[in-house]
Amino acid sequence: MTVTKHRDAISLLEKVQSFPWYVEKYVEHKKSKKSSPSTLLGYLRDFEYFFRWMMAEGLTAATEMKDIPLEDLNDLKKESVESYLIYLQESHLYERNVFLTKPTKSAKKEYSDRTIARKISSLKSLFYYLSALAEDEDGESYLSRNVMAKIETNVEEITPLARAHSIRAKILIDEEIQRFVHFVYEGYLAFCDTKRKQLHHLQNRDRDTAIVALILSGGFRVSEIINLNLSDIVLEKNQLKMIRKGKKEDAPFFSDWGKAYLVQYLENRGKYKPAEGEEAVFLALSPTKPYGHRIELRTVQKFVKKYGKAFGMPDLSVHKLRHSFATQFLRLNPDPHQLQAQLGHSKIDTTMQYAHVLDDALSQAINRTTSYKE
């Protein structure tokens, strides 16, 4: 065994321990087929990316990758996996904070079609093993259904209209945007069936509403919001200073109505008892810490899911809030280049997916084209 293979074998033994037991079974199976340690490490990287995305999207209740049960893979819907494809095509900045243990070159640019196809191929291999090759002590397959069998590996076959259809059912449009923001602040109280839940909501509703309103009024990534410091806010210009993908400095805008919620939160930020010199804009309280501390990304993801479910949109997530802003922007301001700058996209093609979300405009254009008099 070469030095490189020996090193990869050791890394494989260490890394696989952070995965669910069924991934360890898969690795043992691939070893029996003479797969190299380097190849298996590549599989694990792809699995880790997908599992952490599942946790971020609320598709599993597990908070540690190792604890994701087989049932959550069995229950995955085709639409969810298609959303993962969309995510890969965008390649967000916050993947470096949530999904990757170390920043990689691929985290600084959008993934190529070939890379996306490889990531999906890795998942197809795992799901095929779990549904068709592996069996438990009763001789039953680990998975009763294989959602990955329904996914096209060639991502170029997923058209912008197909991606748009997947997005449309899970986002807020027009008056739904303001209705949801109001629901977070006021309407959710009706779902607090205990005094403890009521007090918790009243404690955090200014903060939660401000975060939701900022994303919906500026299209920011959740990592950009939680990493904000007080000195990054330029209220008089409705701007937020931030470092975006590729370590680019930027100062995107937010709306006046979003500003109103931000100001209201800032006026009440002291209730979190921040330590002297604490610069984080958005804070959280913890029983183990005497002072308010910077809110964690997982906390935001969880409360957006909570509010979305109560609102009647269980698929709503922080990323879908960003989708909502982008779609509404193009609905009212048909300039994708302006939206590209606001969202921090490196490619206009990524921005253009939102142009297809509202197919009512396309339908009207078709009707105008075909409703002529002979």
Decide if 273 is catalytic: no
**C-beta neighbour count of 57 within 10 angstroms:** 19
Could you say which of 22, 94, 307, 354 is catalytic?
A: 354
Decide if 145 is catalytic: no
DSSP string, 212-277: HHHHHHH---HHHHHT-BGGGEEGGGTEE-EEEGGGEEE--B--HHHHHHHHHHHHTGGGG-BPTT
DSSP code at position 64? S
Measured between its terminal Cα atoms, the distance across the chain in Å is 78
Decide if 118 is catalytic: no
Decide if 354 is catalytic: yes
Contact 120, 153 (CB under 8 A): yes
DSSP code at position 295? P
Q: Helical H runs in the chain?
A: 3-15, 21-32, 37-56, 70-74, 78-90, 95-98, 113-128, 160-168, 175-185, 195-218, 222-226, 256-267, 297-311, 318-332, 336-343, 348-352, 359-370
Tally of residues, the chain:
374
Strand partners, 82: none
Could you say which of 92, 201, 305, 345 is catalytic?
A: 345
Decide if 96 is catalytic: no
Could you say which of 163, 259, 320, 322 is catalytic?
A: 322
The span from the CA of 252 to the CA of 80, in Å, is 30
**Backbone torsions φ then ψ of 199, nearest 5 degrees:** -65, -40
Range 39-43 contact pairs with CB under 8 angstroms and sequence separation of 24 or more: 40/12, 41/8, 41/11, 41/12, 41/15, 42/122, 43/122, 43/125, 43/126
Could you say which of 92, 163, 205, 221 is catalytic?
A: 221
Could you say which of 119, 319, 320, 356 is catalytic?
A: 319
Q: Which of 44, 57, 21 is nearest to 298 (CA)?
A: 57
Q: Which residue do the tokens 């959008």 mark?
A: 110
The span from the CA of 43 to the CA of 127, in Å, is 12
Decide if 337 is catalytic: no
Element of type H or E holding 294? strand 293-294
Could you say which of 92, 245, 269, 305 is catalytic?
A: 245
Residues classed as catalytic:
221, 245, 319, 322, 345, 354
